[in-house]
Amino acid sequence: MKFGFCNICGRGTGFLCPDISTIRNTNICLFCGSSSRNRHVAKEILRIYDADANSIKRSRKLRQSRVLNTGWKDSLTRSMADSDRFFYSEYFPDVIPGTRIEERGYCEDIQNLSFPNDYFDLVITEDVLEHVRDYKKALVDIRRVLKQGGYHIFTVPCRFDRPNLARVDTSGDTDVFLTEPEYHGGGLTRKILAYRTFGTDFLDELDESRFDSTVSFSHPKDLEQGIVDSYVFVSRKN
């Protein structure tokens, strides 16, 4: 176990990593349960919205922005729960998309979000787009609900040394598997089909969707915040 500071819950903590091969998705904060990936996303959010704050929990400036996080009760959602400008969502197959489940919690299909145009300053999606049947449609709709100059900060599994890998043919009404089916999740969460693994084509596709995009890679100095072997996409609506 390594010790450091969590930029989500704002506490000195230990980071637990039971398997080094999964450190991007583990290296868990003992207090809020955030992962290395979660904290890297938080790092980029704070860089853009409140560089003076040391954590999401303690950021007052961030609470002036309208935010949608596609994470149901994850560490970011719990740390922002006191903001009435913060919304969170999940896709539940047995619930009609757009249904309000809690005060600021919704069932949403990000290919067809129920929110108005130009509504959010920030949309966060973590390892979501690989599970969406038509991710290009999702990018269009995320752009629609963002204000001009708003940000989509997100993660996807990506191989930067080879092209996109389509795992499922979605050109028709029925999914046709092109590779052995891959599912993510498990344990306490349901297993979700991965339609693809992203690759070198993806940055060009982000440009085509009229986002100004960069990729933030983890740095050795991020170790003190338990951010290891991670990368985050930062896309600005231009």
Q: Which helix (H) or strand (E) holds 123?
A: strand 120-126
Q: What pLDDT is recorded for position 164?
A: 96
**Does the structure show a pLDDT above 70 at 77?**
yes
Q: How confident is the model at residue 185 (pLDDT cuts 50, 70, 90)?
A: confident
* Higher-confidence position of 191 and 118: 118
Q: How confident is the model at residue 187 (pLDDT cuts 50, 70, 90)?
A: low
With b for 16 or more beta-carbon neighbours within 10 A and e for fewer, the 200-231 pattern comes to eebbeebeebebebeebebeeebeebbbbbbb
**Does the structure show a pLDDT above 60 at 60?**
yes
Q: For residue range 28-48, what is the model confidence (pLDDT) as tens digits?
A: 999 999 999 999 999 999 999
**Does the structure show a pLDDT above 90 at 169?**
yes
Q: Which helix (H) or strand (E) holds 213?
A: strand 211-217
Which CATH architecture fits 2-237?
A: 3-Layer(aba) Sandwich (3.40)
Q: For residue range 197-222, what is the model confidence (pLDDT) as tens digits?
A: 999 999 899 988 899 999 999 999 99
Tokens matching residue 97: 């998309």
Among candidate residues 174, 203, 219, the one with its CA nearest the CA of residue 44: 219
